[in-house]
Amino acid sequence: MKLYDPGGERGSAMSYAALLEKIEIMRSTLRWATRIERPDIEKLLRQANTLRDEVMGLSHKERFVQAIGTERRVEMPAEPVAELSTGERRQALLARSFVFEGTFGDNPKLLDALEIAEKAAPTDLPVLVDGESGTGKELMAKVIHANGSRVDKPYISVNCGAIPDNLLESELFGHKRGAFTGADKDRKGKFESAHKGTIFLDEIGELPLTGQVKLLRVLQSHEIQRVGSDETISVDARIVAATNKNLRKLIEQGTFREDLFYRLSVIHVTLPPLRERADEIPLLIAYYGDESAEALKRRPVALSPRLREFLLRYTYPGNIRELRNIMYRISCLAGETADLAHLPEDIRPATQGAAVAQEAVAASTSMAEAKRLASDEAERSCLERGLQEVGGTVAELARRWDMNRSHLQILLKKHGLHSKDFRKH
Ligand SMILES: Nc1ncnc2c1ncn2[C@@H]1O[C@H](COP(=O)(O)OP(=O)(O)O)[C@@H](O)[C@H]1O
Ligand SMILES: [Mg+2]
């Protein structure tokens, strides 16, 4: 048999599209070969390994830009991104009729993600979105769907973490009547429902290994079988998967299949946590303040200065979802003006230390003394919280707060705080 010969054009400038093509050629070589001799198998394996290294060698973004370059370069001016301000980048997206689906923010990392989504949307390449919970992964999947050619076809969302193991296969692929107890009629699965459209596989890291094998098979063959049926059904569903887990870690631990990871992450988008786009918190507070007021048919709630201060400094482990929920909560609970008391109890900052300090403030003899004590207390609790969040790494805290490190050290000393007491073991 004649083996595929990669030829002489190999070099650093190989595009992702060209790599994909080579892999496809190799795959069909194997598929149609009637007989393969051992040396040929070895040669193919060597070629496969080289190709794989090359794919891995290209960074996510490069891979992507090159892949799309072949299809859409005409409409995209030669990579202007680097010189544009974030506002201009957003404006440029708008000018290209990008559908934001309510996503907003001017953070460069978010704009990176949106620009990748813009280019990925018109293709059928699988996209993997990762980021902490509440960073907008599902919203990103909708953005990709909304900007693609499948926009008027179904968008089906599946939470892989919420389906019991024994129902997973039937949920994804459907079942035939009588396939198991309780299967009283034929049922379509999510993949079939998403035919011609987009399927969003949320929390893909929660998918058990058996489910992963089945999903991989669908990705390879574009065919499914309902549980209890021999009939194969072709499905054409564009896949967007999301995870808040580090899939590479799961691969190391043996709970996620590496081959599935590579299949899903042809385009990989990472969403920044809110604490890395803290400059947008005031905007989000205003936005969700208004939105919640409208939903609750009330006047937008005013924030007391200390509540505002808290909301600006809080680190939002639940990211945008948490901020949104807080704004809805205080809009619901507060009268004209909301205060710390309207915050959920588990994040309310009234610590014991603060209570003691309040007593000291009350007992102080002069106004100046009271002010100093209150301000000292605020400073100390802020430092404590900050250190907790960065696990005692002063350099990191200095970076986050945009403060001089030695100044921070002086403040820690003043309050008798030791960074090592905040290290996580
Ligand atoms: N950039 C953004 N601008 C505005 N709202 C956002 C943004 N990102 C997320 N949201 C909102 O935050 C909430 C959580 O988003 P979601 O996509 O469900 O997060 P995830 O899937 O990552 O947990 C939703 O209400 C969503 O509309
Ligand atoms: Mg989600």
| Contact predicate 93/127, CB 8 Å | no
Q: pLDDT tens for residues 346-380?
A: 998 864 455 556 666 666 667 777 777 777 778 88
- Could you tell me the two tokens for 75? 């409409």
Residues 6+ apart with CB under 8 A from 52: none
pLDDT at 403: 85
Beta-bridge partner residues of 156: 199
The residue to mutate among 104, 115, 138, 139, having the most atoms of ligand 1 within 8 angstroms of its beta carbon, is: 139
Structure pTM? 0.67
How many Cβ atoms are within 10 Å of 373's Cβ, its own excluded?
18
At 369 the three-state DSSP class reads helix
Q: pLDDT tens for residues 37-90?
A: 777 777 777 777 777 666 655 544 454 444 444 433 334 444 554 578 888 998
Distance 221 CA to ligand 2 centre (A): 28
Distance 420 CA to ligand 1 centre (A): 35
Helices and strands in the chain: count of H runs, count of E runs? 18, 11
Mean pLDDT of 245-249: 94
Return d(Cα 222, Cα 227) in angstroms, integer.
Answer: 16
Sign, CA torsion 15/16/21/25? positive
Return d(Cα 388, Cα 347) in angstroms, integer.
Answer: 14
Identify the CATH class of 276-347: mainly alpha
Which atom of ligand 1 is closest in space to residue 141's alpha carbon? 17
pLDDT at 412: 86
Find tokens 């693609």 and name the residue: 148
Which atom of ligand 1 is closest in space to residue 129's alpha carbon? 22
Distance 120 CA to ligand 2 centre (A): 20
pLDDT at 355: 57
How many Cβ atoms are within 10 Å of 88's Cβ, its own excluded?
15
Residue 83, phi then psi, degrees to nearest 5: -85, -15
Find tokens 């969040």 and name the residue: 389
Find tokens 């209890």 and name the residue: 228
- DSSP one-letter string for 185-230: S-EE-HHHHTTTSEEEEETGGGS-HHHHHHHHHHHHHSEEE-BT--
Chosen CATH of 103-176+187-272 out of 3.40.50.300, 1.10.150.120, 3.40.50.150, 3.30.360.10: 3.40.50.300
Distance 344 CA to ligand 2 centre (A): 21
CA 238 to chain centre: 18
| Contact predicate 143/117, CB 8 Å | yes
- Could you tell me the two tokens for 84? 């544009």
The residue to mutate among 138, 320, 325, 326, having the most atoms of ligand 1 within 8 angstroms of its beta carbon, is: 320
Q: How confident is the model at residue 114 (pLDDT cuts 50, 70, 90)?
A: very high
Half-sphere exposure of 110 toward its Cβ, with a 13 Å CA cutoff? 24
Distance 343 CA to ligand 1 centre (A): 20
Return d(Cα 125, Cα 198) in angstroms, integer.
Answer: 11
Integer CA distances (angstroms), 384 to 100, 164, 193, 387, 391, in order: 38, 41, 51, 5, 10
Q: pLDDT tens for residues 187-244?
A: 999 999 999 999 999 999 999 999 999 999 999 999 999 999 999 999 999 999 999 9
pLDDT at 57: 57
The residue to mutate among 86, 110, 321, having the most atoms of ligand 1 within 8 angstroms of its beta carbon, is: 321
| Contact predicate 222/235, CB 8 Å | yes
| Contact predicate 50/105, CB 8 Å | no
The protein residue whose alpha carbon is closest to atom 26 in ligand 1 is 136
The protein residue whose alpha carbon is closest to atom 17 in ligand 1 is 136
Distance 232 CA to ligand 2 centre (A): 31
Beta-bridge partner residues of 270: 130
Q: pLDDT tens for residues 3-50?
A: 545 444 444 445 666 666 677 677 667 766 767 777 777 777 777 777
| Contact predicate 140/269, CB 8 Å | yes
DSSP annotation of 341 reads G
| Contact predicate 262/126, CB 8 Å | no
Q: pLDDT tens for residues 280-323?
A: 899 999 999 999 999 999 999 999 999 999 999 999 999 999 99
Which residue ranges have their beta carbon within 6 Å of ligand 1? 102-105, 110, 131, 133-139, 320-321, 324
Q: pLDDT tens for residues 138-164?
A: 999 999 999 999 999 999 999 999 998
Domain boundaries, the chain: 16-57, 103-176+187-272, 276-347, 352-422
Ligand nearest to the CA of 114: 1
- DSSP one-letter string for 265-318: TSEEEEPPPGGGGGGGHHHHHHHHHHHHHHHTTSPPPEE-HHHHHHHHH---TT
The protein residue whose alpha carbon is closest to atom 9 in ligand 1 is 136
